[in-house]
Amino acid sequence: MKVLIVEDEMIIAANISLQLSNLGYEVNAILPRGEDAIEHVRNNPTDVVLLDIQLKGKLDGIETAQEIQKVRDIPIVYLTANTDDAHFNRAKSTHPKAFISKPFKKIDLQRALELAAASVETTEYPNLGEPSVLKDRIFVRYRDRMVKIMFEDIYYIEADRSYCKLFLEAEEILLVMSLKSVADKIPAEDFLRIHRSYLVNLKKVDEVEMNSIRLGRYNVPMSKKMRAALMDRLQLL
């Protein structure tokens, strides 16, 4: 994800850039003026624009967003220290993906960019060819890094409200995603939902009891109505 930061307070912009880099995003420019941002988007691949509403120069952030969207349909995330109704109603006309109020926490920045990223299915640039998707792994944000997780290393996945946990051999990884969203990204032939809150890796199943499954050192509850679906997927003698 290539992120353009448009912020005229350079200390704030540098801090945002550092946090985005730690979260695995690529900051392709930091610009203080709306006019420069429009020109940058016209000439450079950009996936998301992180845009301060109050900018110095001829254009404020909202006017900048309006002009950017004439050039290319790019998700906008607003930074703002001013949340009055007038600014909010003007900003709504540009259909932003999120607002971040200053001062903001790191989790606010992370969630706003994830909302924007979710809206970017594909971005086409000339001469890049077809995207390559690796079928045996997924990359997740974990402790400020992008970490490779092989599907074969996942024992099971547990829903935790609007989050979910991946259980590996020796650690747990918390993701800011729903269980359904994770299920859409993992191979359906290897994973089965055995309970409203649990997905298990069928290759890791060691024992099946009446109401639970053992996977290595883990014991996972199973709903009665899913037992038949599990038995259909396992090889029985």
pLDDT at residue 120 in the model = 63
Burial grade of 166 (CB within 10 A; 0-12, 13-18, 19 or more): buried
Beta bridge partners of 94: none
pLDDT in tens, 168-195: 998 888 887 788 888 888 888 899 999 9
- In CATH, what number does 139-233 get? 2.40.50.1020
Residues 147-163 have a mean pLDDT of 87
Degrees to nearest 5, angle at CA 139 with 108 and 169: 105
Question: Where do the domains of the chain lie?
Answer: 2-119, 139-233
Domain 2-119 in CATH 3.40.50.300? The answer is: no
Residues 62-71 have a mean pLDDT of 92
Residue 119 CA: distances (Å) to CA of 51, 59, 210: 17, 26, 42
Handedness of CA 122, 77, 69, 93 (dihedral sign): positive
Q: Evaluate if residue 132 carries a pLDDT over 60.
A: no
Pick 11 or 143 by higher pLDDT: 11
| pTM for this entry | 0.54
